[in-house]
Amino acid sequence: MTKQAPVQKNEYIDVVFEDLTHEGNGVAKVDGYPLFVPNGLPGEKAKIKVIKLNKGYGFGRLIELYEKSPDRVEPNCPIYKECGGCQLQHLSYPGQLRAKHNQVQEVLTRIGKIENAIVHPVLGMEDPWRYRNKAQVPVGEREGGLIAGFYQKRSHDIIDMEACLIQQEKNDEVVQSIKRICEKHGVRAYNEQTHKGTLRHIMARSGMKTGEIMVVLITRNTDLPNKNQIIQDIIQSNPDIKSIVQNINTKKTNVIFGDETKVLWGNEFIYDYIGNIRFAISARSFYQVNPEQTKVLYDQALKYAGLSGKETVIDAYCGIGTISLFLAQQAKKVYGVEIVPEAIEDAKRNAKLNEIENVEFAVGEAETVIPKWYEDGVKADVLVVDPPRKGCDETLLQTIIEMKPKKVVYVSCNPATLARDLRILEDGGFKTAEVQPVDMFPQTMHVETVVLMSRVDK
């Protein structure tokens, strides 16, 4: 099979990078055969070593750069190379925004065959660092002491980390002090191989507007030695800590959270605002990690929805009701649907908290619940979808086509499935009007996109 490759494994070759993959690798082509090379940027000339050959594509390693891209910058983070969290720190921020714009435009054309849609420049951050409101770090041991940080690329070795430059500073500080406090009180780290030890992960989450911090200790079982002293020390370490929670994960698994959650001290929730809407966030709640850009994203969705107060709106894949509550302020009625029951409990609580009464939330699959609503006579003027990476279920898309809302607002975290779904909706009588990418995750390859589609055959 690999005979088709025009190069050989371990061969050194000179290339020019033409493109960037959605993983952030440079793409060089040899007789049309693509080689993916970490750290290569479009336009750069380089010597690479061929590392691996597959049918149709291969991988290489950057050996020497002959000509650098004008967009290349020195990565800010000292652990950028070892950590897999960021992929684009070697590209200037304007360069990152252009790369994300190209990515969206390219898949809409290639996969979606969408023509004449306006793809606006990516809405980026003024300061694209220190934006995350949630730190979630694995804990290990080295020479008897605790370490907490990140898994080294392609491995399960934990590297100790003092600071993560895309993390809000106070979350970093909280993680550091929890590490020290647990170490002082003799807490052992969980060991994946032996399934022994106690502390698996530390999570710190903070409200951007309120400043409130929640700490979650994820442990292998309910035992936490010297629990009371640990709690006292944590409370004293930072006055903004309003909630200390223990989550128990008894399983041999890579999944971080277990099923049981206990409040050790303080509140079950911390609060935060997006715009003027207040949210109660529990240890397990899904909450967007970049609050500043979430506001930008939701404002854009709201603008595209273009509500006057008379509309019925459906928010599919509504999570804890964030977009639904935003929309409800300007609509007659909003229906939200989401598959995770706890998220819907949060959504209902958040509606009450904000005294928003024109919303109704249902637990279930969007592709099952929305057809039922339609049968029961619910007719949406505007339909908002915000699906996970795999995109919308085909049944849901068919229901949207039958329901004929005036507008569909599609919020997507994966341009490829977005393009696929837009094609189906276009074939069903909608036209892609505007596309607005938003940079929710600077320094990484992820891009979020909001699309406005309008009904054409009225």
Residue at token pair 């709106």: 313
C-beta of 380: minimal distance to ligand SAH in Å?
16
Alpha helices in 201-282 (DSSP H): 227-237
Site for ligand SAH contains 317 (CB under 6 A): yes
Q: Going residue by residue from 243 to 282, which x/- string records binding to ligand SAH, judged by CB under 6 A?
A: ----------------------------------------
Contact call for residue 288 and ligand SAH (CB under 6 A):
yes
Which position among 206, 322, 436, 449 is part of the footprint of ligand SAH (CB under 6 A)? 322
Interaction pattern, residues 211-230, with ligand SAH; x per rule: CB under 6 A: --------------------
Question: What does the alpha-carbon distance between residue 199 and residue 175 come to, in Å, rounded to a whole number?
Answer: 13
Q: 10 Å Cβ neighbour count for 87?
A: 22
Phi-psi region of 442 (alpha: psi -120 to 50; beta: other; left: phi over 0): beta
Q: Is 373 in the site for ligand SAH (CB under 6 A)?
A: no
* C-alpha closest to that of 10 among 59, 64, 66, 73: 59
| φ/ψ (deg, to 5) at 399 | -65, -40
In whole angstroms, what is the distance from residue 250 CA to residue 258 CA?
7
CB-CB contact of 317 with 387 (8 Å)? yes
What three-state secondary structure class fits 1? Answer: coil
Q: Which of 110, 379, 388, 394 binds ligand SAH (CB under 6 A)?
A: 388
Q: By CB under 6 A, is residue 44 in contact with ligand SAH?
A: no
Residue of 5, 35, 270, 323 interacting with ligand SAH (CB under 6 A): 323
Taking the least distance from each CB to ligand SAH, the nearer of 86 and 337 is 337
| Residue 319 binds to ligand SAH (criterion: CB under 6 A) | yes
Rounded Cα–Cα distance for residues 283 and 108 (Å): 37
The closest residue (CB) to ligand SAH is 319
Instruction: Sort 111 into a burial class: Cβ within 10 Å, 0-12 / 13-18 / 19+.
Output: middle
Task: Tell me whether residue 392 is one of the annotated catalytic residues.
Answer: no
288 labeled binding residue: yes
Q: Looking at the annotation, which residues are catalytic?
A: 413
For ligand SAH, the binding residues (CB under 6 A) are: 286, 288, 317-319, 322-323, 337-340, 343, 365-367, 386-388, 393
Please report, in range form, the residues annotated as the binding site for S-adenosyl-L-methionine.
288, 317, 338, 386
